[in-house]
Amino acid sequence: MKIELASSYGFCYGVKRAIDIAEKHKNSFTYGPLIHNKDEIKRLKDGFNIGLIEKIEDVENSNAIVIRTHGIPKNELAVLKKQENKIIDATCPYVTTPQNIVARMSKEGYSVVIFGDKKHPEIKGVVSYAEHENHAFVVLDKEELDVLPLKNKVALVSQTTKKPADFLQIVNALILTHKEVRVFNTICNATFENQDAASELAKRADVMIVIGGRHSSNSKMLHSISEQECKESYLIENETELDANWFKDKELCGISAGASTPDWIIQNVVNKIQEINN
């Protein structure tokens, strides 16, 4: 069986940057997981003594706090600043962009629609940048728009990991019902590149392995895209989850990995598949 890596996979610019920043600040803490990968978080703990604080009330004064890749809500940032913590901001610039757009457009009197998942940390952060709670609304599909108290002036942003085709559905629905719609395409290119490469490889593969955290939306998305082209697609966090049966009588095994999956985990998976294959 041949093993082939997608032409684009794994760590994106924002994650590489966040890890570089964290490694330069030994003995600090991240507020919330820095990235959606528990093995990488463990590596940072073991090698750089970078701790993890999950709740804002557990942050003590004067800690060095690294802000995670997907940002945090504005009010929580204000609390951390007030406590005289040293703030090391590792928020990805592609996430800072929708935060700033939401702040600006809500200040300019627009209703802001955020296409994304309310529960995702990135979106919890982005929505918090509106001037008032009733200036910004998070939706996952166009039906949800009907019940929102939107003004005629609407601005639209997207969660960075969403599919462009789904974003377009929201754009189209808004344009039909509102006089002015300002569309900001805040979907991240890294996501497109990994997705297109996974889809292309899945078309040819007999089995697809997507490596990524179970809480990582872009890994879950890669898995769902792979599954559309290759029924035997599996999402795993690391090599211990591989099952030898998946590779029986297969000719091509494709591999893709989410934007928060480190190279060392991908290599471990490739090694283990080779071992199973021999």
User: Any idea which residues carry the catalytic annotation?
Assistant: 122
Whole-number Cα distances in Å, 43 to 2, 40, 51, 108, 212 = 30, 5, 11, 44, 16
CB of 63 to ligand SF4, least distance (A): 23
Which of 190/198 has CB closer to ligand SF4? Answer: 190
Is the torsion defined by CA of 195, 98, 123, 139 positive or negative? negative
Cβ neighbours around 251 below 10 Å, total: 10
Q: Which residues bind ligand SF4 (CB under 6 A)?
A: 12-15, 69, 92, 94-95, 160, 188, 190-191, 218, 259
CB of 109 to ligand SF4, least distance (A): 28
Q: Where are the beta strands (DSSP E) in the chain?
A: 2-5, 29-31, 51-53, 64-67, 86-89, 111-115, 136-139, 153-158, 180-183, 207-211, 233-236, 252-257
Range list of H helices, 34-73 = 38-48
Phi-psi region of 32 (alpha: psi -120 to 50; beta: other; left: phi over 0): left
Which of 142/215 has CB closer to ligand SF4? Answer: 215
Q: Phi, psi (5° rounding) for residue 147?
A: -100, 0
User: Which of 112, 220, 225 shows the shortest CA–CA distance to 165?
Assistant: 225
Which of 194/233 has CB closer to ligand SF4? Answer: 194
CB of 52 to ligand SF4, least distance (A): 18
Torsion of CA 263, 259, 87, 184, to 10 degrees: 160
In the complex, residue closest to ligand SF4 by CB: 14
Which of 49/189 has CB closer to ligand SF4? Answer: 189
Which of 124/135 has CB closer to ligand SF4? Answer: 124
CB of 216 to ligand SF4, least distance (A): 10
| Cα 36 to Cα 32: distance, rounded to the nearest angstrom | 10
User: Which of 178, 206, 193 shows the shortest CA–CA distance to 259?
Assistant: 193
Which of 39/131 has CB closer to ligand SF4? Answer: 39
CB of 62 to ligand SF4, least distance (A): 28
CB of 99 to ligand SF4, least distance (A): 12
Q: CB-based contacts of 227: which residues, under 8 Å, 6+ apart?
A: 202, 208, 233
